[in-house]
């Protein structure tokens, strides 16, 4: 394997903060890639992170210093392609070592058309984002003036419907379990489909599918998936969920959790720098048990704005609502990722709870 020659590159945030590094991944027209800069604290699982559609519109910074050590393989991809705008790492491994590796990360990024930058002081960058908040940035081989202008011109994800760019165009099926589940694809991950498919025959439908079309399929339950961006911009999904509540059991994860809350009358807001990582402590309100969770979201539900539902889980780092349980209808949701991929498996019991909810509602 011949290493790609290093090319000097810069990362410039919208506030002018600049970082020096070297270009990796794809060569983009004009030498510029831009998006909202966020950081993820996972120690492994970089491929699952990069292929999570929830990162649409964002540049992902990995806080772990060595990325690419074990390469990339087709099995660990969470979607058909990466939807993120770029990748920032401290030290890119040029020679992966793992029996499952099919190619190195740099080659994969070039093949997928995703640019990256390595050699960045990611500790300094992460501390800056924590203090100043997630903000647009631009990186590449262009000069600093061009990159600063691109960063300033890059819009925030607030108010933008990013779901429309990642959802499936046509319905498709997955799994062969005994239940019948319709899953809304707001940016669904394959690891979620694998777990749902163990207990249900799943039909995945586009994000814009009306409630009437879903109910006509006579499902035992409806799943609301994860996805990118601002839930307030996905009004069509909120309308559909309102038409489903009380008619069929509903289970939501991440964006699906926020959309369920909005359908119940709740409000959402943007977190300062979001939750992105594989080790967030979440407490179950009912018994006080603590789960270590995988998270990837920038928005959350406003405390006290969701009538008819109780908070079932709460983030111990900052108190953010991490779970909802409806009082009078069969519906619940969590903000975090019980399927992990990557991350701990503490919360996989929630899929069993969905199965129990469907059984109680009369599923065969």
Confidence of residue 223 (pLDDT cuts 50, 70, 90): very high
Active site residues: 254, 337, 339
Confidence of residue 347 (pLDDT cuts 50, 70, 90): confident
Domain boundaries, the chain: 7-153, 163-360
Q: How would you classify the pairing of strands 91-92 and 66-67?
A: parallel
Q: What's the pLDDT at 3? A: 54
Q: What's the pLDDT at 1? A: 46
Q: What's the pLDDT at 357? A: 97
Tokens of 242: 């309102």
- Residue 135, beta-bridge partner list: 37
Confidence of residue 362 (pLDDT cuts 50, 70, 90): confident
Alpha carbon distances (Å) from 190 to 72, 226, 265, 336: 16, 11, 30, 16
Q: What's the pLDDT at 4? A: 56
Q: Does the pLDDT of residue 328 top 60, yes or no?
A: yes
Angle of helix 255-263 versus helix 235-244 axis, rounded to 10: 70
Q: Does the pLDDT of residue 6 top 90, yes or no?
A: no
Mean pLDDT (the chain, rounded): 95
Domain over 163-360 is classified CATH 3.40.50.880: yes
pLDDT tens string 45-62:
999 999 999 999 999 999
pLDDT tens string 129-166:
999 999 999 999 999 999 999 999 999 899 999 999 99
- Cα–Cα dist 189/162, whole Å: 15
Q: What's the pLDDT at 29? A: 84
Domain over 7-153 is classified CATH 3.50.30.20: yes
Contact of 105 with 8, CB cutoff 8 Å: no
- Cα–Cα dist 47/78, whole Å: 8
This prediction has a pTM of 0.95
Q: Does the pLDDT of residue 168 top 70, yes or no?
A: yes
Q: What is the largest CA-CA distance in the chain?
A: 63
Q: How many CB atoms lie within 10 A of CB 203?
A: 18
Arithmetic mean of pLDDT, 245-269:
98
Name the residue among 114, 115, 141, 137 with its Cα closest to residue 125. 137
Common-topology check for domains 7-153 and 163-360: no
């Amino acid at each position: 394997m011949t290493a790609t020659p290093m090319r000097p590159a810069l990362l410039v945030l919208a506030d002018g903060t600049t970082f020096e590094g070297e270009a990796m991944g794809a060569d983009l027209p004009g030498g510029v890639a831009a998006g909202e800069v966020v950081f993820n604290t996972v120690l492994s699982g970089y491929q699952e992170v990069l292929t999570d559609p929830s990162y649409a519109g964002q540049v992902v910074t990995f806080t772990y210093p060595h990325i690419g050590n074990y390469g990339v393989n087709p099995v660990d991809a969470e979607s058909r392609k990466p939807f993120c705008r770029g990748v920032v790492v401290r030290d890119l491994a040029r020679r992966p070592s793992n029996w499952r590796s099919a190619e190195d990360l740099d080659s994969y990024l070039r093949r997928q058309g995703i640019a990256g930058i390595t050699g960045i002081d990611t500790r300094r960058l992460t501390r800056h984002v924590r203090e100043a908040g997630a903000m647009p940035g631009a990186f590449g081989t262009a000069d600093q003036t061009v990159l600063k202008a691109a960063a300033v011109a890059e819009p925030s994800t607030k108010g933008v419907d990013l779901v429309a760019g990642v959802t499936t165009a046509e319905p498709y099926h997955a799994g062969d379990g005994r239940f019948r589940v319709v899953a809304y694809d707001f940016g669904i991950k394959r690891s979620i489909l694998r777990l749902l498919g163990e207990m249900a025959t799943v039909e995945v439908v586009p994000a814009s599918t009306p409630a009437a079309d879903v109910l006509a399929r006579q499902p035992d339950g409806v799943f609301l998936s994860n996805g990118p961006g601002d839930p307030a911009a996905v009004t069509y999904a909120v309308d559909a969920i309102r038409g489903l509540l009380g008619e069929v059991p509903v289970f939501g994860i991440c964006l699906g959790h926020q959309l369920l809350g909005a359908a119940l009358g709740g409000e959402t807001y943007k977190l300062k720098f979001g939750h992105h990582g594989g080790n967030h402590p979440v407490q179950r309100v009912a018994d006080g048990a603590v789960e270590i969770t995988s998270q990837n979201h920038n928005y959350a539900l406003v405390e006290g704005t969701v009538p008819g539902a109780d908070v079932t889980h709460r983030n111990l780092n900052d108190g953010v609502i991490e779970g909802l349980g409806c009082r009078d209808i069969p519906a619940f949701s969590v903000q975090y990722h019980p399927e992990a991929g990557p991350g701990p498996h503490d919360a996989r019991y929630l899929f069993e709870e969905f199965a129990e909810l469907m059984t109680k509602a009369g599923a065969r």
